[in-house]
Amino acid sequence: MNKKQRVQFILDTLENLYPKTPIPLDHTDAYTLLISVLLSAQCTDIRVNQITPKLFSLAKTPEDMLKLSIEEIREIIKPCGLSPAKSKGIWGLSKMIMDLHGGSVPQSFEALEAMPSVGHKTASVVMSQAFGIPAFPVDTHIHRLAYRWKLSAAHTVIETERDLKRLFNPEIWNKIHLQIIFFGREYCKARGHNTGNCPICSVIGSREKKK
């Protein structure tokens, strides 16, 4: 199977398994999505969804978030881990949104990535899932699967993003990145991966040895 055939098989399999791609993080708008994505760093989506209702009941806008102290934010989000840095980031980005963007989350990579605790992956998620702008957020699941599926041999997520953008059409980026994440969590996990039981690796092969 050449790369073009592998790509088509992967597309067909993902579309069959995940025709709908609900956003895993509970949110109501671009701001609450931004906060949720920030909190998801080194934390599961399930845990984030358990924590954000309390936080958003107190502050679901940047204006309201600034009424809380960094310490108050930290106490609420502590179960998500990395709370000292995340609480400072949440307060700091909320202030930037109020001071520089009229209270609304900006719709540009440059503006988003200029905010504290907002990296390229977080900005990509907000751009794609909140604003519908084509982006290809690459997390550890996607980075791992792109290597296993012989779509990229890159060592960094930025390089993997570049490779995947060349293989897939922009109009499906926002959907397929979620499909790959769902697939990785269900069938192609980091540990205990069985090539023979994986709907994709069992057909196209894997860079890993069969177990």
pTM score of the predicted model = 0.90
CB 47 within 8 A of CB 77: no
Class of domain 3-21+136-204: mainly alpha
Query: What share of the chain in percent tops pLDDT 90?
Result: 88
State which amino acid sits at residue 125.
Answer: V
Phi and psi (nearest 5°) for 53? -55, -40
Nearest to 117 by CA among 154, 145, 80, 143: 80
Where on the phi/psi map is residue 43: left (φ > 0), alpha (ψ -120 to 50), or beta?
beta
pLDDT at position 98, please? 98
Instruction: Map out the domains of the chain as residue ranges.
Output: 3-21+136-204, 30-130
pLDDT at position 43, please? 93
Which residues, 6 or more positions from 198, have their beta carbon under 8 angstroms from its beta carbon?
187, 188, 206
Is 12 tagged catalytic?
A: no
CB 188 within 8 A of CB 145: yes
CB 145 within 8 A of CB 179: no
CA torsion through residues 149, 152, 153, 158, sign: negative
Is 121 tagged catalytic?
A: yes
* Rounded Cα gap, residues 89 and 100, in angstroms: 16
Element holding 36 (H helix, E strand): helix 30-39
pLDDT at position 211, please? 38
Reported as a single tens digit per residue, the pLDDT across 38-77 is 999 999 999 999 999 999 999 999 999 999 999 999 999 9
Q: Is 155 exposed, middle or buried (0-12, 13-18, 19+ CB in 10 A)?
A: exposed
Cα dist from 95 to 52, 61, 62, 91, whole Å: 19, 11, 7, 6
* Rounded Cα gap, residues 167 and 101, in angstroms: 35
Reported as a single tens digit per residue, the pLDDT across 6-17 is 999 999 999 999
Class of domain 30-130: mainly alpha
Options 139, 150, 163, 175, the catalytic residue: 139
Return the DSSP state at 207.
S
Reported as a single tens digit per residue, the pLDDT across 122-154 is 999 999 999 999 999 998 889 999 999 999 999
